[in-house]
Amino acid sequence: MSAVPDDAYDQARWRPGLEAAAAAVATAIFGDRRAALMGMTAARVLGAAPRARGHATIAAPRRHRDVTLTDRRDAVVQFVHRDIDAIETQPAATELGVTLVTTPEQTLVDLARDHTVNAAERHAAMRVLGRAADWDRVEALAAAQRGRTVTEPVLKRIRSEVEE
């Protein structure tokens, strides 16, 4: 349960966005700033994806079962086991407070290896992120993390598209 903002249009029906709700669930489970929004969920918070799809992905320090949100239809929070200290994150404001989200560069690397989301949406988000990304940082992150053989060609293609 959360406090409804004073400026909410309809205080009786207000609910936080999916990303904020997912971050709150992760904070309740793992503690403050011990999990981070990642993948398409991070792309959404970073302004690279137009809307939430009912699925939020959280980088978490240990495994956890998926959590179904009961205040909305078909909304699921999925946890992916990651070393939070080894991925690049930054703070982001949500309706419920500040949470961690992967940086644009880390999000690019994560999306390059994520084939569980719609390919067209993933490609569009990567192009938006790629336009402002520090590509030296993207390459360093990709080199330091698992899955380099998968991520490298995808990232190379996106970089060539946005640098044209």
Tell me how far apart the alpha carbons of residues 148 and 126 are, in angstroms, rounded to a whole number.
17
Look at the chain and report how many structural domains it folds into: 1
**Does 4 fall in a domain?**
no
Write out the H or E segment, with its range, that includes residue 151. helix 148-162
Q: What is the DSSP string of 43-92?
A: HHHTTSSSS--SEEEEEESS----EEETTSTTEEEEEEE--GGGS-EEEE
Domain presence at residue 90: yes
Contact of 46 with 107, CB cutoff 8 Å? yes
Residue 89 lies in a domain: yes
List the pLDDT tens digit at each of the 164 positions of the chain: 556 556 656 666 778 999 999 999 999 999 999 999 999 999 999 999 987 788 999 999 999 999 999 988 889 999 999 999 999 999 999 999 999 999 999 999 999 999 899 999 999 999 999 999 999 999 999 999 988 899 999 999 999 999 98
In a domain, 150, yes or no: yes
Count CB neighbours of 148 within 10 A.
Answer: 14
Q: What is the extent of the structural domain holding 26?
A: 18-162
What pLDDT score does 72 carry? 85
pLDDT at 156: 97
Kindly report the CA angle at 26 between 21 and 27, in degrees rounded to 5?
Answer: 95
124 lies in a domain? yes
Q: Is position 154 within any domain?
A: yes
Check residue 97 and report its DSSP letter: E
> Looking at the domain assignment, is residue 143 inside a domain?
yes
Residue partners of 91: CB distance under 8 A and separation at least 6: 98, 99, 100, 101
Task: Note the pLDDT of residue 10.
Answer: 62
| pLDDT for position 152 | 95
Looking at the domain assignment, is residue 95 inside a domain? yes
Q: pLDDT value at position 5?
A: 58
